[in-house]
Amino acid sequence: MNPQNGCGWTRQQALHAIQSYKTFLFVSYLYPQIVLVPTQEIDRVWHAHILHTRQYRQDCEMLFGYFIDHEPDCKLGDRASVINIEAAFAQTQALLALFEGYFQAKFLAKAPSLPHPTYAGNLHLYPSACGRPNNLTG
């Protein structure tokens, strides 16, 4: 990976993060009514995808038929109050676990997460401050 834009990840770590992001998108599609909170690992990939705005918009339209919003803080969408990020993260993790490996090719092995001084290499265990609001109104 290019050290300038690869988050310091090895190729294997980047592939694992991308697979996790794909699973997160799939869960987002299956459960549009649920507020999902990605891991920091997934959120980094999501941010990289969003930076390519046209491609992100096209991918959302092609895959889901609508744009998947990304909220950079815990106030998700038009909700008046801050969600319980821990509960939403736990629910997200449970849903991701149901579909873990669904898109994973046989040759991709799980890689350890990027070492982080705060989280001791466990980015996949901690919530991001970002999230995806539910797509239902009301």
Looking at the chain, the whole-number percentage of residues with pLDDT higher than 90 is 38
DSSP secondary structure of the chain: --TTTSTT--HHHHHHHHHHHHHHHHHHHH-TTS-B--BHHHHHHHHHHHHSHHHHHHHHHHHHSS----BSSSS-TT-SS---HHHHHHHHHHHHHHTTTSS--TTPPP-PPPP-TTTTT-GGGSB-S-BB--S---
Q: What is the pLDDT at residue 132?
A: 59
Instruction: Indicate the length of the chain as a whole number.
Output: 138
Asked if residues 33 and 135 have their Cβ atoms less than 8 Å apart, the reply is: yes
Task: Give the model's pLDDT for residue 124.
Answer: 52
pLDDT band of 4, cuts 50, 70, 90:
low
Note the pLDDT tens digit of each residue in 39-88: 999 999 999 999 999 999 999 999 889 898 888 765 555 553 556 888 88
* Statement: the pTM of the whole predicted model exceeds 0.95: no
Q: What is the pLDDT of residue 120?
A: 40
Question: Average pLDDT in the 116-126 region?
Answer: 45
Structure tokens at 15: 């592939």
Which pLDDT score is estimated for 85?
A: 82
